[in-house]
Structure 1
Amino acid sequence: MTTVRVALGARSYDVVIEAGGLARAGAWLQPLSRGRTMAIVTDENVRPHLATLQTALNAAGVASEAIVLPPGEGSKSWATLEALTDRLLDLGVERGDHVIALGGGVIGDLVGFACSMLKRGCGFVQVPTTLLAQVDSSVGGKTAINTRAGKNLVGAFHQPALVLIDPQVLDTLPPRDLRAGYAEVVKYGLIDDPEFFAWCEGNAAALLAGDPDARAYAIAHAVAAKARIVGADERETTGTRALLNLGHTFGHALEAEAGFSDRLLHGEGVAAGMALAYGFSAAQGLAPVADAERVAAHLRAVGLPDSAASAGIDANGTALVAHMLHDKKMDAGTLPFLLTRGIGRTYLDKTVDLDAVAAYLDAQRR
Structure 2
Amino acid sequence: MPSHSATRPVLVLVGPPGAGKTTVGRLLASKLGVDFHDTDEAVEQTAGTTIPELFRTRGEAHFRALEHRVVTTELAGHTGVLALGGGAVMDPATRAALRDHMVVFLDVDTRQAVRRVGRSGNRPLLAGDPTAKFDALMRERRAVYEAVATTVCVTTDRRPAEVAAQILQALAARGDAPARIHVGGPAGYDVVVGRDLDAEVAAMVGPDATRVLVLHPGALTDRAESLRAALEGDGRTAIRHTIPDAEQAKTLDVVAECWDLLGTERFGREDVVVALGGGATTDVAGFVAASWLRGVRLVNVPTTLLAMVDAAVGGKTGINTAAGKNLVGAFHPPAGVVCDLTTLATLPADDLRAGLAEVIKAGFIADPQILRLVEADGGAGARTPGSAVLRELVERAVAVKARVVSEDLREQGLREILNYGHTFAHAIERTEGYRWRHGDAVAVGMVFAAELAHATGILDAAGVQRHRELLTMVGLPVRYEGGTWSELLEAMTHDKKVRGNALRFVLLEDIGRPTVLRAPEPAHLEQAYARVRASA
What TM-score do you get using the length of structure 2 for normalisation?
Answer: 0.64
User: Which gives a bigger RCO, structure 1 or 2 (Cα 8 Å, sep 6+)?
Assistant: 1
- Structure 1: runs of 5 or more not aligned: none
How far the C-alpha of 1:49 sits from its partner, in A, is 2.1
Structure-to-structure mapping, 1:223-234, within 5 angstroms: 223-234=398-409
What TM-score do you get using the length of structure 1 for normalisation?
Answer: 0.92
- Contact 2:225 / 2:240 at 8 angstroms: preserved in 1? no
Aligned counterpart, 1:65 = 239
- Contact 2:189 / 2:336 at 8 angstroms: preserved in 1? yes
Report whether the alignment pairs 1:344 with 2:516.
no
Aligned counterpart, 2:439 = 267
Amino acid at match of 1:12: G
Report whether the alignment pairs 1:212 with 2:400.
no
SS state of the match for residue 84, structure 1? helix
SS state of the match for residue 380, structure 2? helix
Aligned counterpart, 1:305 = 477
Aligned counterpart, 2:397 = 222
Report whether the alignment pairs 1:286 with 2:477.
no
Deviation per CA, 1:45-93: give whole Å up to 9, x if none. Answer: 2123213323432443333110011212111112212222212222211
How far the C-alpha of 1:277 sits from its partner, in A, is 0.7
SS state of the match for residue 360, structure 1? helix
Aligned counterpart, 1:13 = 189
Distance 1:40 1:192, change over 3 A: same
In the alignment, the residues of structure 1 paired with residue 231 and residue 390 of structure 2 have an alpha-carbon distance, to the nearest angstrom, of 26
Aligned counterpart, 1:2 = 179
In the alignment, the residues of structure 1 paired with residue 229 and residue 461 of structure 2 have an alpha-carbon distance, to the nearest angstrom, of 53
How far the C-alpha of 1:355 sits from its partner, in A, is 4.9
Deviation per CA, 1:330-358: give whole Å up to 9, x if none. Answer: 11222210111222222111241245313
Aligned counterpart, 1:334 = 502
Amino acid at match of 1:356: H
Distance 1:351 1:191, change over 3 A: same
In the alignment, the residues of structure 2 paired with residue 356 and residue 304 of structure 1 have an alpha-carbon distance, to the nearest angstrom, of 24
Superposed CA RMSD: 1.7
Deviation per CA, 1:121-151: give whole Å up to 9, x if none. Answer: 1111111111011011101000000111111
How far the C-alpha of 1:359 sits from its partner, in A, is 4.3
Structure-to-structure mapping, 1:1-366, within 5 angstroms: 1-9=178-186, 11-22=187-198, 24-25=199-200, 27-29=202-204, 31-34=206-209, 36-202=210-376, 204-237=379-412, 239-261=413-435, 264-309=436-481, 314-362=482-530, 364-365=532-533
Amino acid at match of 1:119: L
In the alignment, the residues of structure 1 paired with residue 259 and residue 431 of structure 2 have an alpha-carbon distance, to the nearest angstrom, of 30
Moved more, 94-103 or 60-69: 60-69
Deviation per CA, 1:166-188: give whole Å up to 9, x if none. Answer: 11111111111111111111111
- Contact 2:218 / 2:243 at 8 angstroms: preserved in 1? yes
Distance 1:315 1:89, change over 3 A: same
- Contact 1:145 / 1:153 at 8 angstroms: preserved in 2? yes
How far the C-alpha of 1:196 sits from its partner, in A, is 2.1
- Contact 1:140 / 1:227 at 8 angstroms: preserved in 2? yes
In the alignment, the residues of structure 1 paired with residue 371 and residue 387 of structure 2 have an alpha-carbon distance, to the nearest angstrom, of 19
Amino acid at match of 1:205: A
How far the C-alpha of 1:32 sits from its partner, in A, is 4.4
SS state of the match for residue 303, structure 1? coil
- Contact 1:317 / 1:357 at 8 angstroms: preserved in 2? no
Distance 1:121 1:206, change over 3 A: same
Moved more, 139-148 or 92-101: 92-101
SS state of the match for residue 510, structure 2? coil
In the alignment, the residues of structure 2 paired with residue 59 and residue 207 of structure 1 have an alpha-carbon distance, to the nearest angstrom, of 37
Aligned counterpart, 2:45 = none
In the alignment, the residues of structure 2 paired with residue 132 and residue 337 of structure 1 have an alpha-carbon distance, to the nearest angstrom, of 22
- Contact 1:321 / 1:358 at 8 angstroms: preserved in 2? no
Aligned counterpart, 2:110 = none
Deviation per CA, 1:209-231: give whole Å up to 9, x if none. Answer: 22332222111111111110001
Distance 1:259 1:12, change over 3 A: same
In the alignment, the residues of structure 2 paired with residue 37 and residue 177 of structure 1 have an alpha-carbon distance, to the nearest angstrom, of 32
SS state of the match for residue 170, structure 1? helix
Larger Rg: 2
How far the C-alpha of 1:288 sits from its partner, in A, is 1.1
How many positions carry a matched residue from both structures?
A: 356
How far the C-alpha of 1:119 sits from its partner, in A, is 1.1
Moved more, 212-221 or 112-121: 212-221
In the alignment, the residues of structure 1 paired with residue 384 and residue 464 of structure 2 have an alpha-carbon distance, to the nearest angstrom, of 26
- Contact 1:321 / 1:357 at 8 angstroms: preserved in 2? no
In the alignment, the residues of structure 2 paired with residue 230 and residue 351 of structure 1 have an alpha-carbon distance, to the nearest angstrom, of 26
- Contact 2:355 / 2:439 at 8 angstroms: preserved in 1? yes
SS state of the match for residue 341, structure 1? strand
